[in-house]
């Protein structure tokens, strides 16, 4: 979905480095999410945000942090990367839930490899 | 291409056949369900959703069926095309828009 843009698309780095993944959206959605995808495990929620400055932990938040300084941007940081954080990372957005659950819309992902 | 699952269940069909992809969900309190399609190198793409007050919903060439009694969800694709080849994920939510994803099914469509 071109309305949700992730940068970089690919990154190779070394253990111990600090990494930041960026997500921006032009959909005007309030809600943003970060997921991790590993083979055989589907997508797992890392953090989510329902509004600017709102931050909530997901299923696997340890080792990660996020920042939501603007409605359109949600960044994910790995303060000290470790090899088992090698994965595909996806950002998603959704409209607010005033009318019930709404579909989440995903970017095309960042492939992160930690050596 | 990108591998999103090395040992996914796989459904192989011929072009023109109807496909049925099944999903068992875990939480009887889930009230929202959604199907995504993921092609190699891309993010999940929304296909269709259904709320728990319904048992069937139709889209263009796709139908989702929900059986709450046995906690089962299915995606039916009519007249499957080679472009339908992808990994398909179901996801459930109990509210607050936190989706829990299944592990996916790979659909292979032969010409």
| Closest chain A residue by Cα to residue B97 | A101
Alpha carbons B21 and B107: distance in angstroms, whole number: 8
Which residue of A10, A23, A31, A43 is the best one to mutate when testing the B interface, meaning the one whose CB has the most B CBs within 10 A?
A: A43
pLDDT score at A97: 63
Tell me how crowded residue A110 is: count the other CB atoms within 10 A of its CB.
21
Q: From the CA of A79, how many Å to the nearest CA of chain B?
A: 25
Band (pLDDT 50/70/90 cuts) for residue B7 is low
Partners of A76 in beta bridges: A21, A66
Pairing relationship of beta strands B105-110 and A105-106 according to DSSP bridges: unpaired
Q: Find all residues with CB under 8 Å of B22, minimum gap 6, and list them.
A: B72, B73, B74, B105
Band (pLDDT 50/70/90 cuts) for residue B97 is low
pLDDT score at B98: 81
Q: Looking at the predicted structure, is the pLDDT value of residue B77 above 50?
A: yes
pLDDT digits (tens, 9 = 90+) for A6-63: 999 999 999 999 999 999 999 999 999 999 999 877 899 999 999 998 999 999 999 9
| Closest chain B residue by Cα to residue A48 | B98
pLDDT score at B21: 96
- pLDDT above 90 covers a percentage of chain B that reads 77
Q: State chain B's mean pLDDT as an integer.
A: 90
Contact between residue B37 and residue B4 where contact means Cβ atoms under 8 Å apart: no
């Amino acid at each position: 979905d071109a309305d949700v843009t992730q940068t970089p698309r690919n990154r190779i780095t070394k253990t111990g480095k600090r990494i930041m993944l960026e997500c921006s959206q032009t959909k005007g959605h309030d809600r943003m999410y970060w997921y991790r995808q590993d083979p055989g495990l589907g997508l797992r929620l890392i953090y989510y945000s329902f509004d600017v400055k709102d931050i909530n932990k997901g299923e696997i938040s340890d080792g990660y942090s996020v920042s939501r300084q603007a409605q359109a941007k949600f960044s994910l940081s790995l303060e000290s990367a470790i090899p088992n954080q090698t994965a595909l990372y996806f950002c998603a957005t959704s409209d607010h839930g005033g009318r019930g659950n709404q579909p989440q819309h995903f970017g095309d992902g960042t492939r992160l490899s930690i050596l | 291409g990108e591998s999103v699952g090395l040992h996914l269940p796989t459904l192989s069909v011929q072009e023109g056949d109807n496909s049925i992809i099944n999903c068992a969900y875990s939480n009887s309190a889930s009230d929202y369900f959604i199907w995504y399609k993921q092609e190699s190198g891309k993010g999940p793409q929304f296909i269709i959703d259904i709320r728990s007050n319904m048992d069937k919903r139709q889209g263009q060439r796709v139908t989702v069926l929900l059986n709450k009694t046995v906690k089962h969800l299915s995606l039916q694709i009519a007249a499957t095309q080679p472009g339908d080849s992808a990994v398909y994920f179901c996801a459930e939510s109990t509210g607050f828009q936190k989706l829990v994803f299944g592990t996916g099914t790979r659909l292979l469509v032969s010409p």
